[in-house]
Structure 1
Amino acid sequence: MRYVHQIEVAEGSSWQVIAEGDGPEEHDGTAADYGRCVLQQWIDDQSSLIDAGGLSYGEDGYTDQDGNPLIQARVAFAEDPFPFDGPDGHVVAVDCTQLDDPSPEIAALEAARERKLYAKMLDSLASDELEEALQAAHAVGGRSANWFAEFVYPAISRPVALRAMR
């Protein structure tokens, strides 16, 4: 699978992007596994900068005094046209307390979550494509809106199709 990523640090109650990957990267594991890899690599590469920023490195990674994570990687599918600010949020976050390899059960859960997120992203992209094609075909004319609504069913419901053609 191909992924893109961002590295973020906690600032108050929000996360701020401090680094982004150079572009899509191929990875044989899950998005969470990829996130663990890029976050660990970033921490290893940037440890002097992190220390200068006042963060501490403890047993669980870069955390605050209460053990809350201060660094995370966000990973998205490379095919997502709006990977980090799209409305559907097909993003996996891995924080600095999650760098160890997961148990087999958690790894299976990560894989299942990823399949579902990927399917949701593909469905969202297909819905957008179908709506655009429906509008373009309807604009050319020659058929009624009801004909088009019946044609695209069951991919989308009749009421949704009719709304798309308004």
Structure 2
Amino acid sequence: MAEVTFKGNPVTLLGNEVKVGDSAPNFTVLDNHLTEKSLDDYEGVRLISVVPSLDTGVCDAQTRRFNEEAEKLGNVTLLTISVDLPFAQKRWCGNAGLEKAITLSDHRDLSFGEAFGVAIKELRLLARAVFVVDSSGKVTYTEYVKEATNHPDYDAAIEAAKQAQ
């Protein structure tokens, strides 16, 4: 499993670490209308940005940055996943002016968190991570951010999404 800290303290990640070359595991999350969604609901290349909570500075910046970059990528779907309630995600998108952003909530049963090995047992949050899944469902990029309060490697993730097209 990936070793991750949260504010310098080691945390336990539930589930299995996903590696490049793996078939992306499926999951069930909720969109902002409380509709169940899964990986299969989105076609083409998917860049999955995982954040602990949209209401924090680094998560806010990560979500804004990837949404700005996604507009330039063409056939890449950006999915932002957290355990924030769908209502809070919808409010955040409106306040941020990102009404077209796809935010998905894993609050109900941590299906995504356990499938991708990012559910933090001690906090019931998701560890910061980025995944790229190509159109055939293969994982082509993974980053489990070592310290959950740090930024991911935006440039590497964007380049991986470009290469996966």
TM-score (norm 2): 0.30
**For the pair shown, which has the larger CA radius of gyration, 1 or 2?**
1
Q: Which has the larger share of strand? A: 2
Higher relative contact order (CA 8 A, sep 6+): 2
TM-score (norm 1): 0.30
